[in-house]
Amino acid sequence: MRPCMRNQQRNLRPLSGLLALVLLALSPTSVLAQTQQIPAHPRELKYTTLTYTPPKRDQYRHVLSNGVVAYFVEDHDLPLVNISTLVRTGSYLDPAGKEGLAALTGTQMRVGGTTSKSADEFDEAADFLAANITNFIGPTQGNANLNLLAKDVDQGLALYFDMLRNPRFQEDRIKLAKSQMLQNMERRNDRTDAIEGREWSRLMYGTDHFSTKETTKASIDGITREDMIAFHQRYYQPAGFIFAVSGDFNTKEMLAKLEAATKGWPVNKQAVPSVPKPVNTLVAGVYTVHKADVNQGRVSIGHAGALRDSPDSYALEIMNDILGGGGFTSRIMSRVRSDEGLAYSAGSSFGLGVYYPGNFRASFQSKNPTASQAIDIVMEEINRVRATKVTDEELETAKNSAIEVFPRIFATAAQVASTFAQDEYTKRPADYWTTYRDRIRAITADDVQRVAQKYLQPDKLVVLVVGNIDEIGKGNPDKPQYSLLKIAKDGQIRRIPLPDPLTMVYPSNP
């Protein structure tokens, strides 16, 4: 052995580095190593116990004098600071006919300058500071982020709050953004993955829910600068904020900085409307979208899921892990990919929604002749996890994995801050993380079967296939027992046409 230690100019962690040097000098490593036996199988390896206590929410939680909640997690290893603001808003608040307003407001706040700085001036100032500033509005949340070197934090905060408080919404930037949006809109029917995602949501949540409302040329054309100003004024005010700060800063000082930045900013207590739930009746069956030019079908199979705060969520997590969520140790991956070589990626997710039930979805991509066979296998596995108990080994693997991987949720200061801020935003029960591992430990094979029977409903499955349906329909001449038609229990293969990408009107006769 030729251990070679490099001396470093500056250690990231001087203490542990120094300690390591001392220890190395003392231990006769090579002698020790050679005398040890290597076990024949890893099951014979012995491990020390690892005790881990997750961080406590209250330890990091602070409330500003105006009532805004902020999480501060210090970490002085690297001279970086990250400041994140969650904003109570979302595209679910888009007025009918102005789809795209929330998203456009979010991006234009960032790129359209501020009342005191033109768009160019703002961008130049941010780039010269090497400050990464982002702002966007998603379906049920707005998020503004600032990441920069600690030495520049005051200048960075000034820019960041100028953006949050005084956006200019410069006309030429709005025009450019609309042109880019329209260009991308025209390409909506190009990619089979994009088509699959869009149609899956429509099948799951119906066409009246905000989550499936698409922008159109008319809705984008109709959005004005005044609309954006009004949208910003309504939602971007401290009562809607939660801060998450991590990195190289001092909590007391940062608290004062945030106080100063939000001082005099009117706190609007007007309640933000709640997120609407979908009203949709799923119609089970086989749905297809034809795309001639591809040699692989994309398939999604599933139905409605459950709520995140459901007491069954833990058992559902384990059940799905065994069925298709656990990668190579899960049943769907093992059969579709490793056994048969029918797909590169295959698996399932069980959606646990915060505001309304998510959806259960098994998916894979397979070449035209074998797509139907793979669907058959997935259906079989859905039936099997309901019909028979999972094995002890499977249960053990899934539970152990969830428990052992748990500390990674809080691996970095930024993760601690953002996890707690998100929990605050979505009103997650405060004891969730402290009780999580015990709740997982308590799950039995009976629990898994019970939730499988309760939440997986084979006769309600929706099957969506996007690809060359003519070819997929032909199946595999060597294996005529598998066919799309046989999968459709009502004998019907429904065709979903491609919509006009600018109006999103679906032709009635495909």
Partner 1 sequence: MKKTSLSLLALLLCVQFAAAQKVPVQEMVLDNGMRLLLVPRKGDPNVAAGWVARVGSVNERPGITGLSHLFEHMMFKGTHAVGTKNIDENLKLIKEMDTVRVELRQEEQTLIRKARLGEISDNKDPKYRSQRHKELLARFNELTKREKDLMVKDEFDRIYTTAGGSGMNAGTSTDFTVYFINVPANKLELWFWMESDRLRNPVFREFYSERDVVHEERRLRTDSTPTGKFNEQYESMFWQSSPYGWPVVGWPSDLEGITREEALDYFAVNYAPNNLTACLVGDVDPVRAKELAQQYFGRLPRGPRSPEPVRTSEMPQLAEKRMVAWAETVPQVRVRYHTVAEGHADDFTLDILASLLSGRTGRLYKSLVLQQSVANSAGAGQDGRKYEGLFELNGVAKPGKTPEEVEQALYKEIERMQKELVDANELQKVKNQYAANNFRGIQSNFGLMVQLLLRDNNRGWETINTDPARHQAVTPEDIRRVANTHFKPENRTIAIYYTKKKADGAVDDPALAGLTDQEKIQIGQMKGMLSQAKAEQIKMMLSRFEQQASSAPADKQNFFKVVKKMLEDRLKQLEGGNQ
Residues 464-483 that bind partner 1 (CB under 8 A): 467, 477-478
Pick out residues in 382-441 that bind partner 1 (CB under 8 A).
393, 396-397, 400-401, 403-405, 407-408, 410-412
- Confirm or reject binding of residue 1 to partner 1 (CB under 8 A): yes
- Confirm or reject binding of residue 145 to partner 1 (CB under 8 A): no
Select the span of 88-96, 341-349, 418-426, 445-453 touching partner 1 (CB under 8 A): 341-349
Q: How far is the CB of 152 from partner 1 (least distance, A)?
A: 9
Binding test (CB under 8 A) with partner 1, winner from 59, 233, 295, 388: 295
Q: What is the dihedral of CA 143, 149, 154, 160, to 10 degrees?
A: -20
For residue 235, give every residue at least 6 positions away whose Cβ sits within 8 Å of its Cβ, in sequence order, or none. Answer: 87, 88, 89, 93, 142, 272
> Quick one: 362 or 461, whose CB is closer to partner 1?
362
> Quick one: 223 or 466, whose CB is closer to partner 1?
466
Nearest CA-CA partner of 215 in 370, 96, 367:
96
Q: How far is the CB of 270 from partner 1 (least distance, A)?
A: 34
- Confirm or reject binding of residue 506 to partner 1 (CB under 8 A): no
For residue 46, give every residue at least 6 positions away whose Cβ sits within 8 Å of its Cβ, in sequence order, or none. Answer: none
By three-state DSSP, how is residue 140 classified?
coil
> Quick one: 338 or 481, whose CB is closer to partner 1?
338
In DSSP terms, 495 is beta-bridged to 288
> Quick one: 59 or 184, whose CB is closer to partner 1?
184
Pick out residues in 101-120 that bind partner 1 (CB under 8 A).
111, 120
Select the span of 3-11, 384-392, 431-439, 455-463 touching partner 1 (CB under 8 A): 3-11
Pick out residues in 39-98 that bind partner 1 (CB under 8 A).
39-43, 45, 47-50, 52, 77-80
Q: Where are the alpha helices (DSSP H) in 321-463?
A: 331-332, 371-387, 392-405, 413-426, 432-441, 445-455
3-state SS track over 40-51: CCHHHCCCCCCC
Q: How far is the CB of 414 from partner 1 (least distance, A)?
A: 8
Q: Where are the alpha helices (DSSP H) in 39-100?
A: none
- Confirm or reject binding of residue 36 to partner 1 (CB under 8 A): yes
Sheet of 132-137: strand order equals: 61-63, 69-74, 241-247, 80-87, 142-149, 132-137
Residue 410 CB neighbour total at 10 angstroms: 17
Binding test (CB under 8 A) with partner 1, winner from 341, 458, 497, 510: 341
Binding test (CB under 8 A) with partner 1, winner from 143, 310, 329, 457: 329
